[in-house]
């Protein structure tokens, strides 16, 4: 069986990196009136409280919605809601009679997320555990709209860190001070942050991406430009260096440039998909990958079936990268359409595959 992979032409002009927090964006945060139907405790928070999914009804759309993985402080353990006023809910801790906890029985709300493109993040406060409360700014290619996941808790281990790669739903970050690597899942915070040893590298050495061997993250590989790969298993005390035989594949294609208020930005001009045979190696390029969609960015590339995710364009490549903006390439017509008219974010962009809690 042949496998599909693709190459994107990119100019290697360096850009300054951003920390985990980007500048505040203009995303709308006004919410409609909601009817609270119930809540489901889905886990424990690092601070001793609870992670809760709130089940709501939106009278504007006449649909049920869910706000997931919200942190309730430990003071509300063993409490029940007794009232609500001006957006604030009042709880009482009973001492003389049995009650139900804040959690009702698990509902049948769907928790499978679409693929998202991480555009950036805004630090909005401090968490009780010494970490940060962060709003993640995302792009949903199914609806072609920008969305926001608000008030997510990043552990204190990620303070002073920057994102360096993404694979199988895990985002990898590296501490700016001691080069310690951490893996976290911003879509499913029930997965605990994984701490790995410091990553040894020259300050001028450019890191390309991170790959994990499975969703359980047994082996982690960090790829650099050139032939160097650093490997680490969970529990190892250090990364082990390996060097590939073939080195770095030479980029090809053309890149166009646009001037904008933020300065010079790159534009992807052409994307080609090749078939790769395990025995014969690289084969001819193809304009037909069926109903598949390929997601390319500063993440490890992955494929999805458009049939499984209505709204996605089949036989297409969704792309996004540092300084390139983000868009979609229709392989049949060989046309590229950008999905946002605004200047691209100045930091790295990662496609995050669908996840379920």
Q: How far apart are CA 290 and CA 38, in angstroms?
A: 42
Mean pLDDT computed over every residue of the chain: 76
Q: In the prediction, which pLDDT does 91 show?
A: 53
Residue 37 sits at φ, ψ, to 5 deg, of -90, -30
Q: In the prediction, which pLDDT does 86 show?
A: 61
How far does the chain reach from its first CA to its final CA, in angstroms?
32
Q: What is the pLDDT of residues 316-335, one digit of tens each?
A: 999 987 666 788 999 999 99
Q: In the prediction, which pLDDT does 255 show?
A: 44
Q: In the prediction, which pLDDT does 82 show?
A: 72
Q: Are 141 and 114 in contact (CB under 8 A)?
A: yes
The DSSP code sequence of 104-128 is: --------PPPPEEEEEEEEEEE-T
In this predicted structure, the answer to whether residue 248 has a pLDDT above a threshold of 50 is no
Instruction: Provide the pLDDT confidence category of residue 108 given band limits of 50, 70 and 90.
Output: very low
Q: In the prediction, which pLDDT does 99 show?
A: 33
Instruction: Provide the pLDDT confidence category of residue 224 given band limits of 50, 70 and 90.
Output: confident
C-alpha angle with apex 308: 304 to 311, nearest 5 degrees?
A: 90
Instruction: Provide the pLDDT confidence category of residue 245 given band limits of 50, 70 and 90.
Output: low
Q: What is the pLDDT of residues 24-56, one digit of tens each?
A: 444 345 678 888 888 888 888 777 778 888 898
**Number of residues that this document lists for the chain:** 357
Q: In the prediction, which pLDDT does 267 show?
A: 72
In this predicted structure, the answer to whether residue 92 has a pLDDT above a threshold of 60 is no
Write out the H or E segment, with its range, that includes residue 91.
strand 88-92
Q: Are 198 and 178 in contact (CB under 8 A)?
A: yes
Which range has the worst mean pLDDT, 7-21, 54-68, 148-162, 195-209?
Answer: 7-21
Sheet containing 194-198: which strands, arranged edge to edge?
Answer: 161-167, 170-175, 180-184, 194-198
> What is the torsion angle, in degrees rounded to the nearest 10, for the CA atoms of residue 9, residue 15, residue 17 and residue 21?
-90
In this predicted structure, the answer to whether residue 250 has a pLDDT above a threshold of 60 is no
Q: In the prediction, which pLDDT does 11 show?
A: 34
Q: Please compute the mean of the pLDDT values over residues 189-217 and round it to a whole number.
A: 83
Q: What is the pLDDT of residues 117-159, one digit of tens each?
A: 998 889 999 988 888 999 999 999 999 999 999 988 888 888 8
Q: In the prediction, which pLDDT does 205 show?
A: 79
Which range has the worst mean pLDDT, 232-246, 254-268, 343-357?
Answer: 254-268
Q: In the prediction, which pLDDT does 16 show?
A: 39
Q: In the prediction, which pLDDT does 87 show?
A: 60
Q: Please compute the mean of the pLDDT values over residues 275-282 and round it to a whole number.
A: 74
Q: How far apart are CA 265 and CA 256, in angstroms?
A: 9
Please give the model's pTM, rounded to 2 decimal places: 0.64
Q: What is the pLDDT of residues 295-317, one digit of tens each?
A: 999 899 999 999 999 999 999 99
In this predicted structure, the answer to whether residue 109 has a pLDDT above a threshold of 60 is no
Instruction: Provide the pLDDT confidence category of residue 263 given band limits of 50, 70 and 90.
Output: very low
Instruction: Provide the pLDDT confidence category of residue 247 given band limits of 50, 70 and 90.
Output: very low
Q: In the prediction, which pLDDT does 105 show?
A: 35
Residue 76 sits at φ, ψ, to 5 deg, of -95, 0
Q: In the prediction, which pLDDT does 88 show?
A: 55
């Amino acid at each position: 069986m042949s496998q599909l992979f693709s190459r994107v032409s990119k100019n290697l002009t360096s850009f300054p990196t951003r920390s985990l927090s980007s500048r505040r964006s203009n995303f709308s945060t006004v919410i409609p009136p909601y009817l609270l139907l119930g809540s489901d405790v889905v886990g424990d928070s690092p601070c001793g409280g609870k992670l809760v999914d709130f089940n709501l009804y939106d009278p504007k759309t006449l649909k049920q919605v869910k706000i997931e993985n919200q942190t309730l402080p430990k003071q509300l353990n063993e409490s029940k809601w007794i009232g609500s006023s001006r957006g604030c809910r009042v709880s009482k801790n009973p001492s003389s009679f049995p009650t139900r906890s804040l959690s009702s029985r698990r509902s049948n709300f769907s928790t499978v997320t679409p693929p998202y493109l991480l555009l950036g993040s805004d630090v909005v406060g401090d968490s009780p555990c010494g970490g940060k409360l962060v709003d993640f700014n995302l792009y949903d290619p199914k609806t072609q709209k920008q969305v926001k996941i608000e008030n997510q808790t990043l552990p204190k281990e990620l303070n002073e860190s920057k994102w360096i790669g993404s694979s199988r739903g895990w985002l990898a970050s590296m501490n700016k001070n001691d080069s310690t690597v951490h893996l976290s899942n911003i879509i499913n915070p029930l997965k605990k942050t994984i701490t790995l040893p410091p990553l040894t590298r020259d300050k001028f050495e450019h890191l390309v991406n991170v790959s994990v061997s499975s969703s359980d993250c047994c082996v982690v590989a960090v790829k650099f430009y050139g032939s160097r790969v650093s490997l680490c298993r969970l529990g190892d005390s250090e990364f082990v260096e390996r060097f590939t035989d073939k080195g770095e594949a030479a980029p090809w294609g053309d890149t166009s440039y646009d001037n904008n208020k933020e300065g010079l930005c790159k534009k992807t001009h052409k994307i080609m998909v090749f078939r790769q045979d395990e025995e014969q190696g690289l084969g001819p390029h193809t304009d037909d990958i069926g109903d598949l969609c390929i997601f390319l960015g500063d993440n490890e590339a992955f494929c999805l079936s458009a049939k499984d995710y209505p709204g996605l364009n089949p036989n297409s490549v969704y792309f996004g990268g540092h300084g390139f903006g983000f868009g979609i390439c229709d392989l049949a017509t060989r046309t590229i359409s950008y999905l946002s008219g605004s200047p691209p974010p100045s930091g790295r962009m990662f496609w995050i595959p669908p996840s379920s809690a």
